[in-house]
Structure 1
């Protein structure tokens, strides 16, 4: 299937403001349907769950439906494997806290240098309790994670490996199923930060056999909120983060202290329905969602090909990550730098063209430091999603030509 971009763009009212929005990895536009679901909850069901009265029962059902919707998006086995929270950062911080009793002094956690700090810092905090944290480096030639570099880091004391599904700078999809299998064979768990992956490709936590999988709804067409999958047997073993009378079996509520934002969680229904709708009007939602993401991939492949063609045609530009999209493994998040130019100044100059891009380290500071690219405003980043158009990419490239000529 191909996307009907007129229909797609009509579902995102924020696109009508006259800006070309190429900062989607920082936060996508929100679906009209997501706002409508939130409003529906707030106007019709906005009470605390747990009561016997009709409105409270409706609120509880709305939260259950939200978990079902998120489970469909991630292909989780059951809705009780879904945990909601304010952000990916908070959810992984909470996960590290809830796993605290599972670690002993001398145990090990492995993180990657390529991750967003959300999936590094929380695990680093365990060093206070005698946990050793090791760094899985990227391959300097391919700028990819290589299992050959992970193997010597793992020992019989390794308890968890934290990895990104896609770096929000390098843009290349990591083979999480292969990594999960490798990690499990050595007796450890895996936690995947999927923030940069979830807007672009279908998720299948069961097929990949990951233990924890987290992403932000506000970067996946929803409100400022996030969701975490955990295998049910793993969630049962986590310590409660809620009141003392929330036992270990009170899952997932024990991991949502103060309760989730019901209205934000309820918006997940709209995200599921939109993605499934891209795959057709009838049939099972999960199958339609997978078809919809195939159409998204085709659109995004065209976008990233057009941008990479421009950037690699210049002799003054360095792209960080793959410069070709082999096997559709390159999402349309592209970081680069123009020689002799301050990235911050170029991003600011783009504002006059009403094109939104970003510069810096994008909270993947350890990676940018490792690349030696922290100076002169850091990196430029153009991050696209399926509602962007080839015409917008062409407008961006023309603007860069004009800005760089003036700066020469």
Structure 2
């Protein structure tokens, strides 16, 4: 289909509303995305026509729900190009997925004297689990630094990588800087050392084509709500060889093969990791989101975001006393722009922008080590997606200039 953000916006009912007497311009997509009618309809249809627990029943509704749930798993498999659907585990989101890897794979394979390598741009969800693993095992947690431009410093990476490195955990795309990290190259380098690569794909999967086999990621995590799907559903992809050797993190119903008085055995992949009643509606909604994004086309979405950045950049850089974080080359980033107006707290900027109907985010964006490297306590962030238009860019710039003018006394 031909790409038209203006037409796509019509698929998202929430975007038609008025906020503070202004048409809503939603630019907080890195936090969560809005949901198209097709996803909302899939959720409603499940609850209206197929609401039952999965895998356990032989009645019609149970079989219907199970078929739809497992069909969603297969959609994820094809969407990220996993080798098989059993390598796709449903979780609550990226955070849960990364914690599972740290808890199950990490605790079984990392010991005192080993090293875990992450970058300073990581979201806390891809930082704290490794901190905790290092504390528990006595391993060393090491950081890859950034270049002045905000890119992953490959010299720092090579300096930190060693024979002691057991796990490298990196964001595919930074949720603050929007930079796209060279995952495939890093996978090649660390696999030569026998290390395992864990990728936080929360900001990548919604915005560009992802092929986990081509990337050669050992584990890859992402969330449904950042890709026009429901909240509370996420994915952990893992290579079968690794998942088979891992123990479940949660125990209970559904994930067992046999329970004896003193011990139990687990089902085969992927079900041994999915204890209890899963988020059935969430998985089905995620499947609908994948259908929607596949119809639009991930390459088209990526090109659209690059075009928006190219349109935005000269307007943004023309604003005096505005600091923009990350690379100046818009081809090196997704549709995320993080900035500060001199003399203004980001929360004040975001509040003033909201009065103009423009929704952006302010804070440390769950990336406090990165904030320290940027010499900022917090920043403002605008993040664009498939339904944002050049008119949204114009409104963003207009609201930012109005905010700057309103607080002008604080900038003198």
**Shorter-chain TM-score above 0.5:** yes
> Offset at 1:80?
0.8
2:133 is matched with which residue: 126, 132, 136? 126
Q: Give the conservation status (yes or no) of the 8 Å contact 2:111–2:139.
A: no
After the TM superposition, which segments of 4 or more aligned residues of structure 1 sit over 6 Å from their partners? none
2:285 is matched with which residue: 264, 267, 273? 267
Structure 2: distance between partners of 1:349 and 1:147: 39
Unaligned 5+ residue runs, structure 2? 19-23, 258-264
Q: Does 1:362 align with 2:365?
A: yes
Structure 1: distance between partners of 2:51 and 2:175: 36
Q: Does 1:300 align with 2:305?
A: yes
1:334 is matched with which residue: 327, 332, 337? 337
1:176 is matched with which residue: 179, 183, 192? 183
1:82 is matched with which residue: 84, 88, 107? 88
Alignment match, 1:106: 113
Alpha-carbon distance change, 7 to 320 in structure 1, aligned in 2, over 3 angstroms: same
Q: Give the conservation status (yes or no) of the 8 Å contact 1:350–1:356.
A: yes
1:151-190 matches, cutoff 5 A: 151-190=158-197
Alpha-carbon distance change, 48 to 87 in structure 1, aligned in 2, over 3 angstroms: same
Q: Give the conservation status (yes or no) of the 8 Å contact 1:253–1:259.
A: no
Greater CA drift, 116-125 or 239-248: 239-248
1:24-103 matches, cutoff 5 A: 24-49=29-54, 50-99=56-105, 100-103=107-110
> Offset at 1:169?
0.8
2:321 is matched with which residue: 297, 316, 341? 316
> Offset at 1:248?
5.6
Q: Give the conservation status (yes or no) of the 8 Å contact 1:168–1:196.
A: yes
Structure 2: distance between partners of 1:346 and 1:197: 27
Alpha-carbon distance change, 69 to 131 in structure 1, aligned in 2, over 3 angstroms: farther
Structure 1: distance between partners of 2:213 and 2:368: 31
Q: Give the conservation status (yes or no) of the 8 Å contact 1:214–1:228.
A: yes
> Offset at 1:44?
2.1
Alpha-carbon distance change, 331 to 226 in structure 1, aligned in 2, over 3 angstroms: same
Q: Does 1:371 align with 2:374?
A: yes
Alignment match, 2:268: 250
Q: What is the RMSD of the two structures over their aligned residues, measured on CA atoms? A: 1.7
Alignment match, 2:151: 144
Q: Does 1:389 align with 2:389?
A: yes
> Offset at 1:309?
1.4
Greater CA drift, 225-234 or 253-262: 253-262
Q: Does 1:227 align with 2:235?
A: yes
> Offset at 1:298?
2.4
Structure 1: distance between partners of 2:211 and 2:41: 27
TM-score by length of structure 2 reads 0.90
> Offset at 1:142?
2.6
Q: Give the conservation status (yes or no) of the 8 Å contact 1:242–1:255.
A: yes
> Offset at 1:140?
3.4
Unaligned 5+ residue runs, structure 1? 279-291
Q: Give the conservation status (yes or no) of the 8 Å contact 1:211–1:230.
A: yes
> Offset at 1:7?
3.2
Greater CA drift, 299-308 or 200-209: 299-308
> Offset at 1:126?
1.1
> Offset at 1:106?
2.3
Structure 2: distance between partners of 1:389 and 1:185: 44
Alignment match, 2:262: none
Alignment match, 1:117: 124
Alignment match, 2:200: 193
Q: Provide, for residues 368-388 of structure 1, a one-character-per-residue CA deviation record: whole Å limited to 9, x for no partner.
A: 1222200xxx11100010100
> Per the alignment, in what secondary structure is the counterpart of residue 225 of structure 2?
helix
Structure 1: distance between partners of 2:101 and 2:404: 45
